[in-house]
Structure 1
Amino acid sequence: MNLTLVRNRDRDLTPLALMLPDAEIPLLNPNAKVPFDEMEWHRKWLGDLEDVSFYLQDIDGRNVGFFALRVGIGPEVRHLSYVFLAEEARGGAAQELTRRVEQAALELGALTLTLKVDRGNTPAFNAYLSAGYEELSRRQNMVTMRLDLEERRAF
């Protein structure tokens, strides 16, 4: 699948709400209200001025994915905080999704990318491993992972 990266400069979450079924809100954010509440997301989940979100569009310009990057520990670190792919984009888009996340982080000046993934989400965990992320720690059901973007650029 060929995905185009679009920075969400207007912080518009309406496209996310339209592609995100209520049943999948807890997968994206287990603490968020159901149904999707745009004001809650702006206030609690993407309210920091340093939070940057992106949409992924398919070849026809339809929004089929969303992710957000927060400043991690230090401005050169970005943390992948939310990732969502619409049902029709799943199955084979993981490699391109991870490339687009890396591209966005590099454009924001990041040298390192971190994330947390649920251990039970085997497809996502395996996608991050395949993309070169290293496992840093495991706590309860969450795995913290890291990717060195500087090392990646050297190749």
Structure 2
Amino acid sequence: MAAICVFCASSTTLSPVYLTLATETGAALARAGHVLVSGGGTVGMMGAVAAGARAAGGHTVGVIPRALEDREIADRDSAELLVTETMAERKTVMVDRSDAFLVLPGGLGTLDELFEVWTIAGLGLHPKPIILVNLDGFYDGLLAWLDRAVADTMVRPDALKAITVVEDLDAALALL
């Protein structure tokens, strides 16, 4: 059993494809006996992943900054709801409580979380797996930019080895 942190969108205006992915992710993690660590909100994919995990009997840990308790509607149904003072503290707690990171489609907050865990992995501050789910090419633009950054020597080629890019949930789960 591992604690898997899922980063994903908290937007309330999402396609059902993304909400289904999140729900299935939470349920699959729970069925595998993993603990879900998430952003502690009930909106968008973030809420769907936690609800999916609980519906399948999983243990959920939500981590939410005090300033977002109302905006992201704090997940009071979490087995553990940790309220932090800042966004930076939230990410630190999520990193500390997790054994691996699963990144689903998301926006700026998801990218912030991805780059945080990726950067500290690249600095050797954690050896935890980071898996990016590039569903339907969602992250193709980001991956092209990264290739350009490597070509222009802005990013070390070995930094790309710190993440694993997969096309779907099944491939991601096989790596956990």
Q: TM-score band (shorter)? A: 0.3 to 0.5
More strand by share: 1
With structure 2 as the length reference, what TM-score do the two structures score? Answer: 0.33
TM-score, with length taken from structure 1: 0.36
Higher relative contact order (CA 8 A, sep 6+): 2
